[in-house]
């Protein structure tokens, strides 16, 4: 189980915060911050599974026996896009980075569904993409949790080309939350460039293991890349560890600077931190939840 019942109850007090509110097609739970307008009836749309029953037009149903949902101009229709990195490097650690990432995304998705926002999950992988679209309302939570939990992890499925394809074909708008270790030889910021285009408000939750922060290794070793199976022979010395820390710090600074300069929220975590605290405390301090 990704999330306990007690934790789900705590999530019920939270809501998603977006910096970019936009006029949508469907009345949501949160009022737009635009001024000078009122809640104004606009049109109807056919009722769909998961739509809020409070907005059914019962007068129209009494006349035509057709279920239609009322649309309002002044209410926000926020799309939440959850993206999970399933590459082999995410299987590292105990608990694994993948499990930590899945739990965080599940929590964000649940809060979004409680707010009656439209939630989608996308995760590229060597065995095929996980693609669940347009979930809405708490009744869809079980489907979201099942898709996240069942998503297989492994293979050399980088994010660079898949993200370009996803953005290019979907042209997404709304709030995007990417959960990944953001490790790449060419720099993970190269993957993130496409996320600053269009109407996306992007947030990256970076999950590392404590062993990646402070390696507890010594002696002569052969290191194998989990994603492409390439190897390198090394002798771990104090000098090598010092160089590793310097290189990691430089990488982290470059990633932080890239995200900061492009208004991408970067949340750095490790699997040593309880994921509940990351959601309830860190994501709130970063402004994604309140």
Which of 82, 85, 89, 101 is closest to 267 using CA atoms? Answer: 101
pLDDT of amino acid 50: 62
241: helix, strand or coil: helix
- Token pair, residue 178, equals 């990417």
Contacts of 160 (CB under 8 A, 6+ apart): 184, 186, 190, 191
Closest CA relative to residue 23, chosen from 75, 79, 81: 75
Mean pLDDT of the chain: 86
pLDDT (mean) for 201-224: 92
Q: Alpha helix (H) ranges present in the chain?
A: 5-11, 58-64, 97-114, 141-150, 160-170, 189-192, 210-213, 238-261, 275-277, 283-285
Residue 149 pLDDT exceeds 90: yes
CATH 3.40.50.410 intervals, the chain: 78-285
**What percentage of the chain reaches a pLDDT higher than 70?**
88
The pLDDT of residue 65: 77
The CATH code for residues 78-285 is: 3.40.50.410
Q: Has residue 151 got a pLDDT over 90?
A: yes
Question: Residue 247: pLDDT above 90?
Answer: yes
pLDDT band for position 110 (cuts 50, 70, 90): very high
DSSP-derived secondary structure letter, 172 = -
Over range 33-58, report the average pLDDT.
Answer: 63
pLDDT reported for residue 166: 92
First vs last Cα of the chain: how many Å apart? 25
Which pLDDT score, from 0 to 100, does residue 223 have?
A: 85
Higher pLDDT, 232 or 3: 3
What burial class does residue 234 get, using C-beta atoms within 10 Å of its C-beta: 0-12 exposed, 13-18 middle, 19+ buried? Answer: middle
Phi (first) and psi of residue 124, to 5 degrees: -75, 150
Q: What pLDDT is recorded for position 198?
A: 66
Residue 76: pLDDT over 80: no
Mean pLDDT of 227-232: 82
What is the rounded average pLDDT of the residues 83-106? 95
What is the pLDDT averaged over residues 4-26? Answer: 78
**84 contacts 2 by C-beta, under 8 angstroms:** no
CB 133 within 8 Å of CB 95: no
Q: What is the mean predicted confidence (pLDDT) over 37-65?
A: 70
- pLDDT surpasses 90 at 36: no
**Minimal CA–CA distance to 214: which of 178, 179, 244, 181?**
244
């Amino acid at each position: 189980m990704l999330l306990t019942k007690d934790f789900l109850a705590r999530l019920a007090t939270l809501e998603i915060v977006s910096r970019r509110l936009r006029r949508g097609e469907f009345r949501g739970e949160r009022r737009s911050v635009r001024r000078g307008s009122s809640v104004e009836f606009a049109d109807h749309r056919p009722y769909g599974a998961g739509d809020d029953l409070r907005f059914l037009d019962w007068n129209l149903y009494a006349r035509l026996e057709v279920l239609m949902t009322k649309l309002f101009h002044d209410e926000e229709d926020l799309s939440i896009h959850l993206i999970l990195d399933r590459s082999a490097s995410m299987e590292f650690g105990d608990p694994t980075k993948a499990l930590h990432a899945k739990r965080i995304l599940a929590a964000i998705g649940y809060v979004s569904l409680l707010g009656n926002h439209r939630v989608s999950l996308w995760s590229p992988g060597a065995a095929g993409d996980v693609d669940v679209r347009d979930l809405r309302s708490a009744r869809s939570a079980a489907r979201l949790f099942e898709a996240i939990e069942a998503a297989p992890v492994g293979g050399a499925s980088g994010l660079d080309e898949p993200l370009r394809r996803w953005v290019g074909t979907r042209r997404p708008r709304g709030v995007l939350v990417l959960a990944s270790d953001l490790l790449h030889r060419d720099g993970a910021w190269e993957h993130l460039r496409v996320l600053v285009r269009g109407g996306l408000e992007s947030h990256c939750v970076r999950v590392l293991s404590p062993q990646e922060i402070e390696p507890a290794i010594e002696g002569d070793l052969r290191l194998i890349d989990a994603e492409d199976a390439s190897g390198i022979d090394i002798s771990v010395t104090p000098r090598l560890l010092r160089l590793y820390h310097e290189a990691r710090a430089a990488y982290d600074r470059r990633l932080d600077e890239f995200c900061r300069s492009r208004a991408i929220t970067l949340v750095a975590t490790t699997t040593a931190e309880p994921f509940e605290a990351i959601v309830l405390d860190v994501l709130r301090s970063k402004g994604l939840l309140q």
